[in-house]
Amino acid sequence: MSSDMEQYYRENGRKVFLYLMTLCGNADTAEELTQETFYRALRSLKKYKGDSSVYTWLCSIARNAWLEELRKRRKHTGEEITELVEDTSPRPDEEAESEDSRIRLLKRIHSLPETEKEIILLRASQELSFQEIGEIFGKSENWARVTYYRAKQKLADSR
């Protein structure tokens, strides 16, 4: 592995894994996709021009790997995307009101269309800027802002 890629992995490996966890909700799948992300990044390292941050570039690769995984799963099992998302229903011992509210919010987030869900999670859990989110999706910063706002409105309306 090149020294650049080793450095990219040290600096971004955990963050890419956490990003993938927000998408798939499964640690094993997230780990496999993280490995696949860095494998693809290594293969295309010469194509990286530095137009975006390394993390943004890696998240774009990770997102594509996740979408490919979803397509494979649907093709093989016919499952819907919503069935692939981790079950966030509360455990019996989680009776506190704040925990219930958090669970309800996560369920509402996971019921959003895939793109809107990703944008909400990138903004909230990864604290990415709208510019970085736009770069991940290959869209503009304004597109990211508008899509985020609309997704937030859907969440507020679904209460």
Tokens of 146: 């508008």
Tokens of 138: 């290959």
Model confidence at 142, pLDDT cuts 50, 70, 90, reads very high
What is each CA distance from 159 to 4, 105, 153, in whole angstroms?
A: 46, 9, 10
What's the pLDDT at 33?
Answer: 93
Tokens of 123: 């903004």
Q: Which of 37, 38, 47 is nearest to 69 (CA)?
A: 37
What's the pLDDT at 36?
Answer: 92
Residue range 69-120, pLDDT digits in tens: 888 888 765 544 444 444 454 444 444 556 667 778 788 888 889 899 889 8
Residue range 16-50, pLDDT digits in tens: 998 898 888 888 999 999 999 999 988 888 888 88
More confident residue, 158 or 11: 11
| 70 vs 104: CA distance, rounded Å | 24
| 123 vs 109: CA distance, rounded Å | 12
